[in-house]
A and B are shown apart, each in its own frame.
Chain A
Amino acid sequence: MTAAPAPRLLAAAPARPRRRTALVLSGAAVALVLSALAGVWVGALPLPPGAVLATLADRALSPLGVDVPGGLEGTGAAVLLQLRLPRVALAALVGAGLAVSGAAYQGVFRNPLADPYLLGAAAGAGLGATLVIAHVPATPLGPVGLVPLAAFAGALLGVGAALLLGTAAGGSHSATLLLAGVAVASFLAAAQTLVQQQNTDDLRAVYGWLLGQLGRAQWSDVVLVLPYLGAACLVLLLCGRALDVLAVGDDEARSLGVHPGRLRLLVVVAASLATASAVAVSGLIGFVGLVVPHVVRRLVGGSHARVLPVSLLAGGAFLVLADLVARVALAPAELPIGVVTAFVGAPFFAGLLWAGARRR
């Protein structure tokens, strides 16, 4: 009997999965709401949750002629509505998208080490952003900068190239696709380094982008990614049960009525779209797509029908909290959020592995 590769990192199946999942799912939802409140609260100008909720209720109900007292005024309201809220919303969206994509990639490649950047999305986005930063004078294009667009296109082109190469080389086999992705990613990363080396003046800007940033988040960013990210996440959530079938192998999936090649393509395309959207507005934020699904699997077991929705909520909460840390750790300076996710995430992950190993 052959087990799925690298099984050490995965959790055992929980007893009574349904009750436990309902519990974990509501826990993750509560965590997301609480972290969002905290993310809005903390900053140079503290905005207490009570006043925040009152302001939001007031805004929501004012069309009905209802006035809610106790809301924020003037600067407070402006900071809330123009700075904190879009930032928290974008962090939640990006975190949710990266975590779901990571879980989906891991399922589709039957590999717990897969992450959403694996197939060339990160390298393609990096090359696109670097090219624009280095060669296009800083003129934003309408409300949307040129860098996000280039990153988005680069990510999709990277994954597209990997898919083309992988399909040409070996049909729909997951290992071939993975290797094609590694080849494309290395090539694009090399190209990006080359461009970067020839334009050393722009190094700071390039690194700033590569390490991830949510500091300039605006509502326009949220509006820009929401359709793509939302649609892609919806598709992935709907694929949960099919991914559970795929987990028993291609032949058996086929014998159960699921076309493994088509499912894999659908999931890879949707996850890559989510990743490209996330990367476009936030740069390369590592570790979310790897760590969040792992933690979630420990809690609810390996079934994708459970892992995907919980990862969505937990990923959003995780990135909102990471952004909070990025803002306050060295205030008034900001840490790149990618540094925070790795700095907090890596030791946490290591601890988790250690605890898991001891339990065995």
Chain B
Amino acid sequence: MSGARVEVVGLSAAHGRSRVLDDVRLDVGPGGWTAVIGPNGSGKTTLLRAVLGAHPHGGQVRVDGVPTTAVPRRERARTLAYAPQRPVVPEGVSTAEYVGLGRTPHRALLAAPRPADRQVVADVMARLELTGLADRAVATLSGGEQQRAVLARALAQQPRVLLLDEPTSALDLGHAQQVLDLVDRLRRQDGLTVLSTLHDLTLAGQYADRLALLSGGRVVAEGTPAQVLTAEALAGHYGARAQVVTGPHGPAVLPLRAPGHDRG
């Protein structure tokens, strides 16, 4: 299994009458990791859903040069996996069964899980420290545990492209790093291509090799983390005061209080 090149060309999308994305262009190479950043409501989730084919859009999404609309649904499901920002958690389903749903595109829809499927599920769950929760109903897991289960389901799909919408929003710092390290290892070992959103800019800057800053429905900056994460960009598009510190693995963002509020 190797990664695929994901090209987004002239993508536009709307919610009802209001236009959310306008002429978005992205190019993620095989084994690359592009993090889409941008303020709330800038269209990151819409972009990921459009790439998935779950939101009507203009323009084109190509995987290894082939438009996704030209690929049969099940084959597309073996290529692209998606972990949503707000997953729907089914009732009365164990964590192991939930993760096992990721195997769906790899066997006939009527077929029961095969031993090979169970093996993949067991491996993925072990990597995400979910083994001890296998028999628990997934609806009873904590928010962070659920988020890891959702990621596990996407990984069990053994895709070539991973679409992750805020994969760390409910995770503590340790688990966030653990999950991102795992995704990073997968893309280095297997060449998995990752397109994610990440609202934690420091994590985005440390893990992704490219950032795309979305603002007002357009990509206003695209490049390496050091090129995109500048104090000016954060002030201009987020309305945020921050200092950008250069660390060993990329820039880190340090939020600053407004001046003139001395403590004491």
Instruction: Compute how far the CA of A301 lies from the CA of B143 in the bound complex, rounded to whole angstroms.
Output: 21
**Which of A10, A250, A252, A258 has the most B CB atoms < 10 Å from its CB?**
A252
Within 8 A of A (CB), among B153-196: 153, 157, 163, 170
**Which of B76, B84, B157 has the most A CB atoms < 10 Å from its CB?**
B84
Are B101 and A255 in contact, CB atoms less than 8 angstroms apart? no
Instruction: Answer whether residue A248 sits at the interface, using C-beta atoms and an 8 A cutoff.
Output: yes
Instruction: Answer whether residue B91 sits at the interface, using C-beta atoms and an 8 A cutoff.
Output: yes
Instruction: Answer whether residue A7 sits at the interface, using C-beta atoms and an 8 A cutoff.
Output: yes
Instruction: Answer whether residue B102 sits at the interface, using C-beta atoms and an 8 A cutoff.
Output: yes
Minimum distance in angstroms from A104 CB to a CB of chain B: 15
Interface window among B46-54, B236-244, B249-257: B46-54
Are B89 and A257 in contact, CB atoms less than 8 angstroms apart? no
Instruction: Compute how far the CA of A16 lies from the CA of B146 in the bound complex, rounded to whole angstroms.
Output: 20
Are B135 and A4 in contact, CB atoms less than 8 angstroms apart? no
Are A252 and B84 in contact, CB atoms less than 8 angstroms apart? yes
Instruction: Compute how far the CA of A166 lies from the CA of B49 in the bound complex, rounded to whole angstroms.
Output: 24
Instruction: Answer whether residue A330 sits at the interface, using C-beta atoms and an 8 A cutoff.
Output: no
Are B53 and A3 in contact, CB atoms less than 8 angstroms apart? no
Are A302 and B91 in contact, CB atoms less than 8 angstroms apart? yes
Instruction: Answer whether residue A59 sits at the interface, using C-beta atoms and an 8 A cutoff.
Output: no
Within 8 A of B (CB), among A221-249: 238, 241-242, 244-245, 247-249
B147 closest partner in A (C-beta): A1
Residue in contact with A256 in the complex, picked from B84, B136, B157, CB distance below 8 Å: B157
Convert A1-33 into 0s and 1s, putting 1 for each residue whose CB lies closer than 8 angstroms to a CB of B.
111100100111111110000000000000000
How many A-B contacts if CB must be within 8 Å? 121
Instruction: Compute how far the CA of A254 lies from the CA of B109 in the bound complex, rounded to whole angstroms.
Output: 13
Instruction: Answer whether residue B116 sits at the interface, using C-beta atoms and an 8 A cutoff.
Output: no
Residues of B within 8 A of A2 (CB): 86-89
Minimum distance in angstroms from B78 CB to a CB of chain A: 8
Instruction: Compute how far the CA of A2 lies from the CA of B136 in the bound complex, rounded to whole angstroms.
Output: 18
Residues of A within 8 A of B104 (CB): 241, 245, 256-258
Q: How large is the interface on B (under 10, 10 to 19, 20 to 34, 35 or more residues)?
A: 35 or more
Residue in contact with A257 in the complex, picked from B54, B91, B105, CB distance below 8 Å: B105
Are A10 and B101 in contact, CB atoms less than 8 angstroms apart? no
Residue in contact with A297 in the complex, picked from B82, B84, B92, CB distance below 8 Å: B92
Are B109 and A242 in contact, CB atoms less than 8 angstroms apart? yes
Instruction: Compute how far the CA of A238 lies from the CA of B111 in the bound complex, rounded to whole angstroms.
Output: 10
Are A10 and B92 in contact, CB atoms less than 8 angstroms apart? yes
Instruction: Answer whether residue A251 sits at the interface, using C-beta atoms and an 8 A cutoff.
Output: yes
Convert B76-120 into 0s and 1s, putting 1 for each residue whose CB lies closer than 8 angstroms to a CB of A.
111011101011111111100110011011000111100000000
**Which of B73, B76, B101 has the most A CB atoms < 10 Å from its CB?**
B101
Residues of A within 8 A of B143 (CB): 1
Are A248 and B90 in contact, CB atoms less than 8 angstroms apart? yes
Binding site for A on B (CB under 8 A): 49, 52-54, 73-74, 76-78, 80-82, 84, 86-94, 97-98, 101-102, 104-105, 109-112, 135-140, 143, 146-147, 153, 157, 163, 170
Question: What would 13 more interface pairs be, CB under 8 Å, given A12-B137, A245-B101, A255-B52?
Answer: A1-B86, A1-B146, A3-B88, A7-B91, A11-B92, A15-B94, A241-B110, A252-B82, A256-B77, A256-B101, A259-B73, A301-B94, A301-B137
A-B interface, 5 closest residue pairs, ranked by CB to CB distance from nearest: A302-B92, A257-B77, A249-B88, A13-B94, A247-B90
Binding site for B on A (CB under 8 A): 1-4, 7, 10-17, 110, 112, 238, 241-242, 244-245, 247-252, 254-259, 297, 301-303, 305
* 27 sample A-B contacts, Cβ–Cβ < 8 Å, listed by A number: A1-B87, A2-B86, A3-B89, A4-B89, A4-B139, A10-B91, A12-B137, A13-B93, A13-B135, A13-B138, A17-B94, A238-B110, A249-B88, A252-B82, A252-B84, A254-B54, A255-B54, A255-B77, A255-B82, A256-B77, A256-B104, A256-B105, A257-B105, A258-B73, A259-B73, A301-B92, A301-B93
